[in-house]
Structures are given as C-alpha cells and as structure tokens.
Amino acid sequence: MSNLSNKIKLYLGRTPDFLEEVKLLDEGQGAYIKEWNATDKPKPTDAQLNALSSQATTLENNAIALANRQKEYGSIASQIEYIVEHGVSAFIEKQNSIKTKYPKESE
C-alpha cells in the first residue's frame, strides 16, 4: 500500500490524512482508493497514478535508506558520546560512511 500512498502524496503535493481524506484498502488483490475525500484535487485516474510510479518508488527507497541510516546512527546520546570519545572529525567520517552505505536516490 505504501507505493500507492506515495503516488497519492506526489499527486496531491502533500501528505493527506489517510484516515479521513483518502482511505485505502487492500483485500489481497492490490491496494486501491476506497474513498476520496480530498477537496483540493479530484480523485486521480489509474493513468495519473501510474505516471508517478518511478517517483513513488524513489520516495519509498529513500524512506528505507533514511530509516537504515537513523538506526545505524544511534540515539543522540550515543552520537554525543562518540564525539566526546573520538572527536568531531571521526564522527563526521562515521556519518559519511553510513550515508555511503545507505545512499538516497535523486528525487
């Protein structure tokens, strides 16, 4: 469902309230828009959503990369501890290596 939700975010240019404005449903045959209550744009056609597929995949992949980065960065407290123990240069090096390990795609 996340690919469909990303397409909808791209179509609207914002993140809608998926509990009230746009309700999605997946009954095992692929997610679809069950209810469209967004007032700023009409319900998109399948063709309009399909045209956003590659951008939606990029959003999804970048969200995964960011989640992996955050997990590996650790808590703010552990990052501060690392800086105190190893210095700022070592900390920046470590952060850059994590960014290289989990690259974001161009949007």
Average pLDDT, rounded, for the chain: 94
Statement: residue 1 has pLDDT above 90: no
pLDDT tens-digit readout, 52-61:
999 999 999 9
| Nearest residue to 25 via CA among 50, 49, 60, 1 | 1
Global pTM?
0.72
pLDDT tens-digit readout, 19-37:
999 999 999 988 999 999 9
- Tell me how far apart the alpha carbons of residues 64 and 98 are, in angstroms, rounded to a whole number: 13
Distance, C-alpha 98 to centroid of its chain:
18
Query: Mean per-residue pLDDT for 50-77?
Result: 95
With a pLDDT cut of 90, the percent of the chain lying above it is 92
Query: Mean per-residue pLDDT for 63-91?
Result: 96
Statement: residue 12 has pLDDT above 80: yes
